[in-house]
Amino acid sequence: MTVQWFPGHMAKARRQIQEKLKLVDIVYELLDARIPYSSSNPMMNEIIKHKPKLIILNKADIADPAVTQQWMNYFKQQNQAVITVDALHQNAIKQIVEASKVILKEKFEKEKAKGLRPRPIRAMILGIPNVGKSTLTNNLAKRKAAQTGDRPGVTKAQQWIKVEKELELLDTPGVLWPKFEDQRVGYNLAVTGAIKDTILHLDDIILYALDYLIQHYPDRLIERYHLSGPLDDKIAVLDEIGRKRGFLQSGGYVDYDKVYEIVLREIRGLKLGRLSFECPGDMKQEA
Ligand code: G4P
């Protein structure tokens, strides 16, 4: 389910999240490892202000590992704590607890020096729809705690999930809006399946994805679709895929709609392997 974000929703989400921030020591900003920039909220740092933050690159199991490593280096260079996670298949508790303890070491040592009793770290997950907030919450809770579905802000009555002796998590993650103003972000969210009912046209999404694949993963394309022609003409590539797969209409014309549908499904279904659609270098180029 996707949510329509209006300025009122955004203001409300922000307000609700800021209210909850008072209760926690640390924020887990969940990003899609395939598109860390496009899956971030444009105002995250403004919203959380000086609250310590751990970036969690989720869905690492389906992202290109070499590119994920580039992103890890990129965030570390900025002194931003970051870990990768596969919330769907892997127990993420240990990694998250360890990383949180490192970030909050000083704060907890100060509390101890003041004579305060040791207490668990309190945390909340934040992220845009579909980055895996509910999946990670369930993973940490080891039970079905979070309901999948996107609602602006934090909607349910809050409860703490005891993850371990050392960590307590707000059971409802904070839902934030994506960057709407950047069309490239819209394409990345659409290609990776984060937004389904999209105002973007399927042909534009595929042409965008194809462009990226031609530039970054030409061999995967050639191998998957047994392409023999040059890759510089995207329409010719779609044509060749259509003909090789037999997606033809009467008169022998390629049924492009079918090609778009299949190519998108195969990209999302990992038929071209683990792909990332953004690397830190792309952002530098833009800057
Ligand atoms: P949200 O709360 O942030 O909105 O996201 P949610 O947990 O609902 O996850 C969105 C989709 O992403 C789900 O797929 C979920 O299974 C998948 N997902 C979450 N974490 C991971 C991960 O680490 N690896 C992989 N491979 N997938 C992950 P879904 O229910 O099938 O929805 P959809 O794919 O049909 O949108």
Under the banding of pLDDT at 50, 70 and 90, the label for residue 287 is very low
Residue pointed to by tokens 């990345």 = 188
pLDDT, average across residues 196-203: 80
pLDDT of 147 > 60? The answer is no
Under the banding of pLDDT at 50, 70 and 90, the label for residue 1 is very low
Hey, is 56 helix, strand or coil?
strand
pLDDT at position 196, please?
77
Under the banding of pLDDT at 50, 70 and 90, the label for residue 276 is very high
State both tokens at 51: 């609250």
pLDDT, average across residues 197-226: 92
Taking only the tens place, the pLDDT of each residue in 151-178 is: 555 555 568 999 989 999 998 899 999 9
State both tokens at 9: 């929703």
Distance 1 CA to ligand 1 centre (A): 11
In 104-201, where does DSSP find H-type helix?
105-113, 133-141, 183-191
Least confident of 3-7, 12-16, 24-28, 205-209: 3-7
Taking only the tens place, the pLDDT of each residue in 88-131 is: 888 899 999 999 999 999 999 999 999 999 999 999 999 999 99
Closest CA to 103 of 184, 13, 166, 173: 166
Distance 159 CA to ligand 1 centre (A): 22
Out of 139, 148, 155, 196, mutate this one to test ligand 1's pocket (max ligand atoms within 8 Å of CB): namely 148
Which residue ranges have their beta carbon within 6 Å of ligand 1?
58-59, 61-62, 86-88, 127, 129-135, 148, 150, 193
Mean pLDDT of the chain: 90
Out of 2, 83, 88, 90, mutate this one to test ligand 1's pocket (max ligand atoms within 8 Å of CB): namely 88
User: For the chain, what is the radius of gyration of the CA atoms?
Assistant: 21
Non-local CB neighbours of 162 within 8 Å, separated by 6+ positions: 120, 168
Taking only the tens place, the pLDDT of each residue in 213-236 is: 999 999 999 999 999 978 999 999
CA distance 187 to 137: 27
pLDDT at position 182, please?
86
Residue pointed to by tokens 């329509």 = 4
CA distance 73 to 89: 24
pLDDT at position 154, please?
52
CA distance 125 to 140: 11
Taking only the tens place, the pLDDT of each residue in 19-57 is: 999 999 999 999 999 999 999 999 999 999 999 999 999
pLDDT at position 110, please?
96
